[in-house]
Amino acid sequence: MDDKLVTLEEFNALFEAEFAKSDLEANGIKAVVVGEMLGGAYPYTTFGARRSVVELKVFAADVDKAKEILTSQQNTESGEG
């Protein structure tokens, strides 16, 4: 089903997920950040490794376009695009 929410990407920090969400929404894709409350409560796992607890979710129908937008944005920020 295209109305199912799927995880597009996982982040270690809430602000990273929010930036990506903002980029998607600026391009007409609805997105939601899930797990921000857990990021503060349980930021580390065994041996001090950072957990990816913040997920960026979009509707299944928008996955391909959303990936293109984020890839394009990453390339622009790194000077490749």
Alpha carbon separation from 31 to 4, 17, 56 (Å, rounded): 12, 10, 7
Q: Looking at residue 36, what is its pLDDT?
A: 58
pTM: 0.74
Domain residue spans of the chain: 5-77
Rounded distance, CA 75 to CA 69, Å?
10
CA distance from start to end of the chain: 33
Residue 57: strand pairing partners: 7, 32
Residue 4 CA, distance from chain mean position? 16
Q: Looking at residue 80, what is its pLDDT?
A: 72
User: pLDDT by residue (tens digit) across 35-63?
Assistant: 855 445 555 555 555 555 899 999 999 99
Q: What percent of the chain has pLDDT over 70?
A: 75
The yes/no answer on whether domain 5-77 falls in CATH 3.20.20 is no
Q: Looking at residue 63, what is its pLDDT?
A: 97
